[in-house]
A and B are shown apart, each in its own frame.
Chain A
Amino acid sequence: MIKKEQKALAQWAMEFALKNGCQASRIILYSGSSSTFEVRDMKIDRLTQASESSLQVQLFVDGRYGSFSTNRLDKAELEKFVLSGIASTRYLAEDKARALPDPSLYYKGGGTDLKLVDPRFDSINPDDKLKLAMNVCSEIMGKDPRIISANSGFGDEQIDRYIIVSNGFEGENTSSSFSLEGSVSIKGDGEARPESFWYDASLFYDSLIKEGIGTKALERTLRKLGQKKTSSGKYTMVVDNMNSARLLSPVLASLTGSAIQQKNSFMLDKLGQKVVGDKVTLIDEPHLLSSPGARYFDSEGIATKRMPIFENGVLQTYFIDTYYANKLGVKSTISSPSILTLQQGNKDVDGLVASVAKGILVTGFNGGNCNSSTGDFSYGVEGFLIENGKLTQPISEMNATGNMLTLWSHLAEVGNDPRKSSSYKIPSLLFEGVDFSGL
């Protein structure tokens, strides 16, 4: 939690900025602590521990804007820092779109506890954390003669953020997180050493899955043995729930105010239109309890609310912050989504695979990119060939290529298995007619 003296420092910085030529200001104070325990082959490999804090000062000076941050929190230094920031900002071009949000849009408080902080965060014994990592490693060690290296790790983190804005907003966010992971390298064909991993993450120590992480990591590695390319062609593509959000990221980037105003978006002028398939009903659900990403206000202090992004394939909103709203001459919405939920179907990944006659199950992406103007993409993939509903051959060294609008128009089925540990709750997905390049 942010300490009283830290809040006082942020408030002092704001007052100092306002007294010295700044007409408006937003101050953000970050504070956090973390630790990691990494184990390799049942021996401690790395221990790390850290705590840190920093202050970001956003200055609105004579119609101009600058943003300055530092982890040097001594008042005398901060005075020079803020004065220097104000002086620098004055040399910029005037920008009439720079303004604080309409105060009526701010979160006014009163929301119930989103339950994002584990009260036990500071009291968990480091020996217990190490023991968890050791247990994961022990689930791997000696379980197969082809194992070359078994790695595991426990990590935890608590992040606090305090925002004050000169036209009447004050807010605080705190969340904790815990993670446990295992990874394995095994001897493969020739010189190859296939590797894979598994993990769980949770906001609460007690709900972190602590058993089976290493076993699952080993299973995921062993099933890669014998990977090879298959023929190029159009396939039905199933993407598992570890990787499905990757395909959503370029779409989300194309919906930002910056991308729209800069005309660098394949979703330009598409608001209110049916741009993707009927199965795409994507909702921002910012107030889900005990979920990563839950929040009552965004980075400007604007109150979050449930917001449809696509409904049955029709684009419902862009993510427009105050600055780009002013530039575009539209109302602001929210600077970015909080928790994304995709309307689910009734099958898990195995059920989706079982319904496919000829396809590819993607279990990992390897590089690639997407053209932000056109939506054209090309990604390296690995996974499994699907024949008559069964996984018949592990595949690798292939590319999936296409266009984001076409791809999402061909979304044929949505799974029911989103991972709880992510703020993007995207289940396994099934797309028809995707171009794969291999042999």
Chain B
Amino acid sequence: MLGSIAAPSFLGEQAYAANDKAIAISFALNHFQISEGDLKKVLAAALEKGGNYADLFFEHTFQNSVSLQDGAVNRAASNIDFGMGVRVLSGDQTGYAYVENIALDEMLKAARTAARIANSSATKLTVKLTEKPVIKNYYTVLTPWDAVPIQEKTPYLQKLNDKIFALDSRVIKVNAGLGDTTSHIFFCNSEGVTYYDYRPMVTLSAVCIMQENSKIENSHAARAFRMGAEFLTDDIIDTIAREAVTKTSILFKAVKPKGGEMPVVMGAGGSGILLHEAIGHAFEADFNRKNISIFSDQLNKKVCNEHINVVDDGTIPFNRGSVNIDDEGVDGQKTYIVREGILTSYLHDRISSKHYGIPSTGNGRRESFRMMPIPRMRATYMEAGNVSEADMIAEVKNGIYAETFTNGQVQIGAGDFTFFVKNGYLIENGKLTQPIKDVNIIGNGPKALADITLVGNNYAMDNGTWTCGKDGQSCPVTCGMPSALVSKLTVGGES
């Protein structure tokens, strides 16, 4: 069965009915051509130097993409990635190795490499491997991607191209891409936890390039979900096309603002990047267990306005950041990191939860079998408040309104974070006036959080192709937010 792209027959909700649980594991064992006996042998080898925990992470991932340029769907790419990572923990120390060939002798060699993190007599493995069922499937697939031939995908890109050109005569180029990924994940650990998870992902994006007289501008629109091919509809094509054209055409009217400190109204949706950068990373518990985050001493303390609740959530159906089970065998869950203005929880993986003596929040994630799990965000958002966006803008005499974003970054210890505003508006005397573009905004996490004075009633999730980088690992995430007023941030601009 190796190398096959056939999907298991239990992809729907029914897959997780009690009678089918055993089928999931037997499918996984068959798919990876491994036996329970071999798994135990590898786990035993991983612990032969005295490690106190080991896990094995098997992955088989299929990625496909088709792209359109110059009006034609004229390129395709696929990638198959297959392998197993073995992790050994000795306290909070980690040994890690991986193999692409999962023959028993190769796996044993990797296990013995990872085992070297410990240095004592062997830990005896006595557990029975028991399946941990996926309790709730947050990404049920109706039409798996491996059942969709390329000729059924290409017309959607052509439609997207044609729609964008039809919307505005200034469009000169469109680049569009459709990517789908299907991952089979099988996990077992020395505590006997075993699970199988089927992880779909789709991204659809369009870059729009427009010319007005001698000026050229570009912008893009994208959507990403953990969904099967049912994602592809005429509605999603229409939405992305309109968004790409709107975001590009506004740039011809936009200017760079005068820079400096000023109030910033964050528009609903993509403004969640502020949470991701300003506090999300600094709440990841590996930084706090090492005492190097600016929030390391702030647990259970008031960090912002009592109307603010911030959540990191792995349970939103079909969300790009959702996880049925994290990469350490912990159920996907919804975690309040700020409740009524108080920092209530860090984001934990196995190592940090043991350090703090609390259950993991299910944030142990990894890019692939090549990487060890570390605390990562999922879908990070602020819950809605009770102020209308118009009232919020009316509060600002001179400031900016930040509407769309491309990227951000943070320094965990110093707390300085940034996000790049692709477009927005000046706010003058309580009204949106001149469009602005291409400015970086910089602030300090705790200060910015404390400076959020108003929270809007218009919560929105941004389902773009957000990808978070940390320790050399990329991870799919999302962010969301209602509109919010930050009383002071430093806006890049002309002097």
Interface residues of A (CB under 8 A from B): 40, 43-50, 52-53, 64-72, 74, 77, 80-81, 84-85, 88-89, 91-95, 98, 148-149, 185, 188, 191-195, 224, 227, 229, 232-234, 262-264, 268, 327, 366-369, 371-374, 376-380, 382, 396-401, 435-439
Contact = CB atoms under 8 A, between A and B. Distances in A.
Interface stretch (B129-137, B191-199, B437-445): B437-445
Nearest to A262: B173
B406 interface: yes
Contacts of A81: 3, 80
B114 interface: yes
A437 B260 CA distance: 5
A194 B492 contact: no
Given A193-B292, A373-B209, A262 B175 contact: yes
Interface string B410-421: 111111111110
Contacts of B439: 378, 399, 401
B442 A399 contact: yes
B3 A192 contact: no
B412 A48 contact: no
Contacts of A53: 100
Given A72-B82, A149-B291, A262-B173, A191 B74 contact: no
A264 B218 contact: yes
B260 A439 contact: yes
A397 B217 contact: no
Interface string B55-82: 0000000000010011011111111111
Contacts of B110: 49
A437 B3 contact: no
Contacts of B66: 92
B370 interface: yes
A373 B218 contact: yes
A191 B492 contact: no
A65 B73 CA distance: 10
Given A380-B418, A397-B443, 4 more contacts: A224-B414, A263-B209, A369-B420, A376-B438
A373 to B, nearest CB: 5
Instruction: Give the interface centre of B66, B74, B215, B492 by most chain A CB atoms within 10 Å.
Output: B492
B292 A195 contact: yes
Interface in B402-429: 406-420
Nearest to A63: B74
A374 B215 CA distance: 8
B96 A47 contact: yes
Contacts of A193: 291-294, 296, 412-414
Contacts of A84: 78
Contact of B75 (A66, A380, A401): A66
Contact of A91 (B93, B150, B416, B437): B150
B371 to A, nearest CB: 9
A43 B96 CA distance: 16
B276 to A, nearest CB: 12
Given A376-B438, A377-B438, A366 B418 contact: yes
